[in-house]
Amino acid sequence: MKLNLHLFYKIIKSIFFSSYTTVLCLLFLSVLVLWGTLYQIDNGIYAAKERFFNSWFILIKGIIPFPGLRIIGLLLIVNLFLMFFKRNYSVKNIGLTIGHLGIFIFLIGGAIISYTAKEMFLSLYEGNSSNMASSYTQWEIAIWTNNNTSTNKSNNITLFTDTITPGLIYSLPFLNSSIKISRYYKNCLQPFMSEFNNMQLSNYQQYQNKIEPLETSRDPSDNLPCAEIEFIKNDTVVQNISLFGAISSPTYIYFLNDTIWFLLQRKKIQLPVNITLIDFIKENYPQTQMAKQYKSIIKVVADDLNREAVISMNKPFRYKNYTFYQASFYQNKGIESSTFAIVENKGKWLPYISGAFMFLGFSIHFIIKLFTYIKKQKQEKL
């Protein structure tokens, strides 16, 4: 037993306590980054991220394992941490120590951010306001009624499509009925928008069988899903409903005294602030269509905040852990809308802190070394 423990310790030591591990990790990481970059040419950035940079292992040809970013990163963090005990803490090496501390913070920060940061977006027309952002990739089916008798919140339900399994039955307690998702596709052919504007329910019927799945897009935010729902009361199917991701107005059916609304939409995320778009401005270079600056003037209202702010390219608006960026815009016949990318990030300052450490540490080290070298050269001359 004792021997085994000793052996175990030896193995652990030789793996984590060794600078050979660092070298090997860096080599593997270089290969991984190069490979992941070239992989993007044919497969797009999202697939490359999933396969190389958000994974523990990559299987080459489905058989041979190659370490993914997570495992190399973890190994590097542990290795770097343990190497702090082995370090030579002389004044001469102070720069290196500080720099490596920066890298350690950076790696930890990177891990925290990659697990916790959430990305979403918010599109607003001028004059409109909202406190709900949308997810890029996740979708939900919202079902609600607005009967005259009650307006409380319990008469609605939201199903997240990530958790939907076609064939299962979901109950709608506020209607004493249930629905069954008979089909759901992540990406499918969308009917032309103009055909659907203000369309009556009866017209939807002709699209019942038109649900046509497509191959999922390279960039998952481009996917437009569709779903087919059966509305069930007392074990009989009352109505079939088709929902399409590209249709932003809800579909409704009449049932007894109620109107029931259905909407397949990007998952809504509650923001801690209410944003009103006052004005969107696109500045061009004189006499060209080339943009010089995009700018949105917004009004922000929160518990502790009520003021105007400007979001422009390279100048985001920050509130608590949320940051709002100018992402895109829409201009047509005097109607203007602006889209903000929103990131909720708890560790957003970590890269800045670690960057400062690296800069300071390695610069000190480099300068010390440079002066030593110059001194040596002069001595040699003499």
The residues that touch another protein, with contacts defined as CB under 8 A, are 19-20, 22-23, 26-27, 29-30, 33-34, 36-37, 40-41, 44-45, 48-49, 52-53, 110, 113, 117, 119, 284-288, 290-294, 313-316, 323, 325, 327, 341-343, 348, 351-352, 355, 358-359, 362-363, 366, 369-370, 373-374, 377, 381
User: Quick one: 174 or 324, whose CB is closer to another protein?
Assistant: 324
Here the tokens at position 206 are: 């002709």
Could you tell me the smallest distance in angstroms from the CB atom of residue 51 to another protein? Answer: 11
Burial 160-187 (b: 16+ CB within 10 A, else e): ebeebeeeeebebebbebbbebeebbbb
Rounded to whole angstroms, the Cα distance separating 227 from 43 reads: 27
User: Quick one: 272 or 316, whose CB is closer to another protein?
Assistant: 316
Here the tokens at position 274 are: 């209410």
Q: What angle do CA 371, 373, 379 make, to 5 degrees?
A: 105
Rounded to whole angstroms, the Cα distance separating 69 from 57 reads: 8
User: Quick one: 8 or 371, whose CB is closer to another protein?
Assistant: 371
User: Quick one: 33 or 169, whose CB is closer to another protein?
Assistant: 33
Burial 218-235 (b: 16+ CB within 10 A, else e): eebeebbbbbbbbbbeee
Give the CA radius of gyration of the chain. 28
User: Quick one: 110 or 272, whose CB is closer to another protein?
Assistant: 110
Could you tell me the smallest distance in angstroms from the CB atom of residue 126 to another protein? Answer: 20
Q: What angle do CA 280, 275, 263 make, to 5 degrees?
A: 100
Q: In terms of DSSP bridges, do strands 64-67 and 258-284 run parallel, antiparallel, or are they unpaired?
A: unpaired
User: Quick one: 164 or 310, whose CB is closer to another protein?
Assistant: 310
Could you tell me the smallest distance in angstroms from the CB atom of residue 196 to another protein? Answer: 28
Could you tell me the smallest distance in angstroms from the CB atom of residue 28 to another protein? Answer: 10
Per DSSP, the residues of 127-194 read: T-EEEEEEEEEEEEEEEEE--SS---GGGEEEEEGGG--TT-EEEEGGGTEEEEEEEEESSBPPPPHH
Could you tell me the smallest distance in angstroms from the CB atom of residue 40 to another protein? Answer: 6
User: Quick one: 49 or 70, whose CB is closer to another protein?
Assistant: 49
Could you tell me the smallest distance in angstroms from the CB atom of residue 250 to another protein? Answer: 30
Helix (H) or strand (E) holding 281: strand 258-284
User: Quick one: 72 or 247, whose CB is closer to another protein?
Assistant: 72
What does DSSP assign to residue 56? S
Could you tell me the smallest distance in angstroms from the CB atom of residue 180 to another protein? Answer: 39
Could you tell me the smallest distance in angstroms from the CB atom of residue 72 to another protein? Answer: 10
